[in-house]
């Protein structure tokens, strides 16, 4: 008989409602929800909210990128996630151009063996061929139902529009979800050359080379191409009003488009790149860059209105030394920042504690919405009998000041350093096992499991049905309606 753990005396906060109840867990699953439940092991949730563990659908752990590898691996990355209440991450499997997807997948499987929390992958389409077309179906069979496309990083990961359209059509046929990093890579490359030619080599050039227009254009282009292909679209790291506007407009026309702001873009702005300290500015270089503050209002409003659905991190942390690769040239600063440990506490502090989000909206944006989009709901993202016991007992009164000295990430700094947060995990449970106990991380490397995600979510099926019904049709003309000379 497996041990029965009961989380007692808390308020369950789900995406749809809040109510007082105990939660009983056995064998890694939620087995009962009710009052006065008994168990072998009791976890006190008095004064706390019991929420579905966070799902971060956008992380890069040990990512080969810009001549190096991101510093956090699946062990330190998932530890960081758990410390902040995140119980599942989705990484990006990146075949190098020309490489087999299945070969890349084997490499990612090897890297994730020491994960402390559950994980999945999106597969990236970094080149196009008959082989890629064929392998996409096999990838789906292995439980990966989403494919990422980079419209930026020219000469490295970027794909062209014809490849995008071919891949989106393939996604439609195999019931998968295409995703885009939406920035116009050609325009960015030209802007970078121009700035460097003017002698502008510092990190402020990063933001100047990738203005919001570059993102708005690519977002709109990807949306239109996805509509032509008859497939839903997920836009990662939506950072500005121009991209949000394109998503909002498309959704109002009935298109199935999702937008994912990052916690960084919700609270940090472009003034970071003008910091007189080079290291400070370079440590904040990521793509898309931080924006003027006005864009933050747009992103918060999108979360409130439902035009943006998910808050992620794009956790891709580089050390001080790695960032210094770009000391003479901002285009060589590895792009990426951390955030896995801070996403939920910062979103709670800046969202719920300010009244911009309800606790239920917080759960939707950090867990439930993405579980539905990725077709793993209600195994993940829900508190119902039968769900995985990936849970966070959230203490809304617990405070700390974010500091690299106490973080799980292996890098020496933190883009949220010095920020006071109120709202932190008392406990984080990964499939029923306590992985964080009052700030102490007691996670086990290797405990994390790969989560298979089936193809053909309902949204894909509905959209395919609608597209088939409304597709342009050939006009069958009778001979008597044809000109005599034909």
Interface positions with ligand URP (CB under 6 A): 60, 181, 286-287, 314, 316, 335-336
Interacting residue with Zn ion among 149, 170, 181, 426 (CB under 5 A): 181
Distance CA 394, CA 47 (A): 9
DSSP 450: B
Applying CB under 5 A, the span of 35-43, 211-219, 252-260, 306-314 interacting with Zn ion comes to: 306-314
Distance CA 461, CA 472 (A): 19
In whole angstroms, how close is the CB of 283 to ligand URP at the nearest point? 12
Selection from Zn ion, ligand URP, none that 250 binds (CB < 5 to 8 A by kind) is none
Interacting residue with Zn ion among 27, 64, 386, 439 (CB under 5 A): 64
Distance CA 68, CA 63 (A): 8
Query: Which are the contacts of 341, defined by CB distance < 8 A and separation ≥ 6?
Result: 80, 81, 83, 84, 407, 408, 409
User: First CA to last CA across the chain, in angstroms?
Assistant: 82
Q: Is 99 exposed, middle or buried (0-12, 13-18, 19+ CB in 10 A)?
A: middle
In whole angstroms, how close is the CB of 68 to ligand URP at the nearest point? 12
Selection from Zn ion, ligand URP, none that 451 binds (CB < 5 to 8 A by kind) is none
Greatest distance between any 2 Cα atoms in the chain? 89
Interacting residue with Zn ion among 56, 314, 388, 395 (CB under 5 A): 314
Selection from Zn ion, ligand URP, none that 88 binds (CB < 5 to 8 A by kind) is none
Cβ distance to ligand URP smaller for residue 268 or 357: 268
206 interacts with Zn ion by CB under 5 A: no
Applying CB under 5 A, the span of 125-133, 178-186, 304-312, 372-380 interacting with Zn ion comes to: 178-186
In whole angstroms, how close is the CB of 189 to Zn ion at the nearest point? 16
Alpha-helical (H) ranges within 341-457 are: 343-347, 359-363, 369-373
Asked if 431 contacts 466 with a C-beta cutoff of 8 angstroms, the reply is no
Cβ distance to ligand URP smaller for residue 60 or 291: 60
Distance CA 431, CA 148 (A): 28
Cβ distance to ligand URP smaller for residue 169 or 335: 335
111 interacts with Zn ion by CB under 5 A: no
The DSSP annotation for 113-165 comes to: GG-SSEEEEEEE--S-SHHHHHHHHHHHHTT--EEEEES-STTTTB--HHHHH
Distance CA 385, CA 33 (A): 7
In whole angstroms, how close is the CB of 65 to ligand URP at the nearest point? 6
Selection from ligand URP, Zn ion, none that 98 binds (CB < 5 to 8 A by kind) is none
Asked if 178 contacts 233 with a C-beta cutoff of 8 angstroms, the reply is yes
Selection from Zn ion, ligand URP, none that 419 binds (CB < 5 to 8 A by kind) is none
In whole angstroms, how close is the CB of 36 to ligand URP at the nearest point? 47
3-state secondary structure of 308: coil
Cβ distance to ligand URP smaller for residue 158 or 247: 158
Cβ distance to Zn ion smaller for residue 27 or 64: 64
Cβ distance to ligand URP smaller for residue 31 or 316: 316
Query: Which are the contacts of 426, defined by CB distance < 8 A and separation ≥ 6?
Result: 45, 48, 393, 394, 395, 398, 438
3-state secondary structure of 436: strand
72 interacts with Zn ion by CB under 5 A: no
Applying CB under 5 A, the span of 58-66, 155-163, 292-300, 301-309 interacting with Zn ion comes to: 58-66
91 interacts with Zn ion by CB under 5 A: no
Cβ distance to ligand URP smaller for residue 237 or 248: 237
Selection from ligand URP, Zn ion, none that 64 binds (CB < 5 to 8 A by kind) is Zn ion
> What residues line the site for Zn ion (CB under 5 A)?
64, 181, 314
């Amino acid at each position: 008989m497996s041990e029965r753990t009961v989380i007692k005396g808390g308020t369950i906060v789900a995406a749809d409602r809040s109510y007082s109840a105990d939660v009983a867990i056995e064998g890694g699953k939620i087995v009962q929800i009710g009052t006065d439940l008994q168990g072998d092991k009791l976890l006190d949730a008095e004064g706390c909210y019991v929420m579905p563990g966070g799902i971060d659908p956008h992380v890069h752990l040990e990512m080969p990128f810009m001549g190096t590898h991101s510093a956090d691996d699946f062990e330190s990355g998932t530890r960081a996630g758990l410390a902040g209440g995140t119980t599942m991450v989705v990484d990006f499997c990146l075949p190098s151009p020309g490489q087999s997807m299945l070969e890349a997948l084997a490499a990612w499987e090897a890297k994730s063996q020491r994960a402390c929390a559950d994980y999945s992958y999106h597969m990236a389409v970094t080149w196009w061929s008959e082989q890629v077309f064929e392998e996409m179906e096999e990838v789906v069979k292995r439980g990966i139902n989403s494919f990422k496309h980079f419209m930026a990083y020219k000469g490295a990961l970027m794909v062209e529009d014809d490849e995008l359209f071919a891949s989106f059509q393939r996604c439609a046929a195999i019931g998968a979800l295409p995703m885009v990093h939406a920035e116009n890579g050609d325009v960015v490359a030209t802007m970078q050359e121009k700035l460097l030619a003017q002698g502008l080599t510092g990190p402020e050039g990063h933001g100047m080379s990738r203005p919001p227009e570059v993102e708005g254009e690519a977002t709109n282009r990807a949306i239109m191409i996805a509509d032509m292909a008859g497939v839903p679209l997920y836009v990662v790291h939506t950072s500005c009003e121009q991209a949000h506007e394109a998503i909002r407009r498309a959704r109002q026309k009935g298109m199935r488009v999702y937008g994912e702001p990052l916690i960084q873009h919700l609270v940090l702005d472009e003034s970071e790149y003008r910091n007189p300290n080079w290291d400070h500015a370079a440590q904040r270089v990521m793509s898309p860059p931080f924006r003027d503050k006005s864009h933050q209002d747009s992103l918060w409003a999108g979360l409130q209105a439902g035009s943006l659905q998910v808050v992620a991190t794009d956790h891709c942390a580089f050390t001080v030394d790695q960032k210094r690769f770009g000391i003479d040239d901002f285009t060589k600063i590895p792009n990426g920042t951390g955030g896995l440990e801070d996403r939920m506490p910062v979103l709670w502090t800046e969202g719920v504690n300010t009244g911009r989000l309800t606790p239920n909206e917080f759960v939707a944006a950090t867990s439930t919405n993405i579980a539905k989009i990725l077709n793993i709901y209600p195994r993940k993202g829900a508190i119902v009998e039968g769900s995985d016991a990936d849970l966070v007992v959230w203490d809304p009164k617990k405070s700390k000041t974010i500091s690299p000295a106490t973080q799980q990430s292996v890098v020496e700094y933190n883009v949220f350093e010095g920020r006071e947060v109120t709202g932190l995990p008392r406990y984080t449970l990964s499939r029923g096992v306590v992985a964080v106990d009052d700030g102490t991380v007691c996670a086990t490397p290797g405990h994390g499991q790969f989560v298979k995600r089936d193809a053909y979510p309902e949204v894909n099926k509905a959209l395919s049905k609608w597209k088939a019904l409304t597709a342009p049709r050939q006009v069958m003309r009778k001979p008597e309606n044809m000109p005599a000379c034909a």
